[in-house]
Amino acid sequence: MKHRFSKIAASIAIAAGLVIAAPAMAQAYTPTGPDTVTITVTAPGPVPVAGFQPGATVTFTLVGEGVTGANIAAVKFAVTSASTTKTADSSGVATATVVGTPPAGASWTLAATGARSSSEAGGSTLPSTGGNSESLLGIWVGGGALVLAGATVAVAATVRRNRKESNA
């Protein structure tokens, strides 16, 4: 009975750790590139961004802790993103309206991506995709924890087998 309880306790502890650690591995995508303007949002309301070609389609992506689809609003802890598409007016200004404010101690970043009137790239560049070394930290930590757990189980099984053989 004693060993059965310890196995159950260990399984619950590992499951709880994975549930808590899962959001830490999630990464929200922030657009980058020559046709992207990034702004830190501190207050709700309209956020006009100038410098786009008149009539250009501009994608606004709000990234930060507590961002939901209603923001472009708030769930504490998770760093997520929400996007919307607007059209630049005849003077090249596109405006997105942000609803709500970031939770205390957090900040939101608004990225506006579209054909810029002053861009030499002309809007033909491809977006940045894939991962980078910073986003692999959670995978390395999780993988290391799994290797350590496997080694612990292997050592425990070997010790138990040796004790059983010496007692027989």
CA distance 148 to 137: 16
Q: Classify 128 as helix, strand or coil.
A: coil
CB 66 within 8 A of CB 106: yes
Judged on CB neighbours under 10 Å (0-12, 13-18, 19+), 74 is middle
What are the tens digits of pLDDT across the range 87-132? 888 888 888 888 877 777 777 888 888 888 764 444 444 455 555 5
pLDDT digits (tens, 9 = 90+) for 45-80: 888 888 888 888 888 888 877 676 654 544 455 677
Place of tokens 């924890």: 145
Cα gap 35→52, rounded to integer Å: 9
Q: Is residue 28 a contact partner of residue 83, using CB atoms and an 8 Å limit?
A: no
- Based on the number of CB atoms within 10 Å of its own CB, is 100 exposed (0-12), middle (13-18) or buried (19 or more)? middle
- Which candidate, 29, 61, 72, 55, places its Cα nearest to that of 123? 55
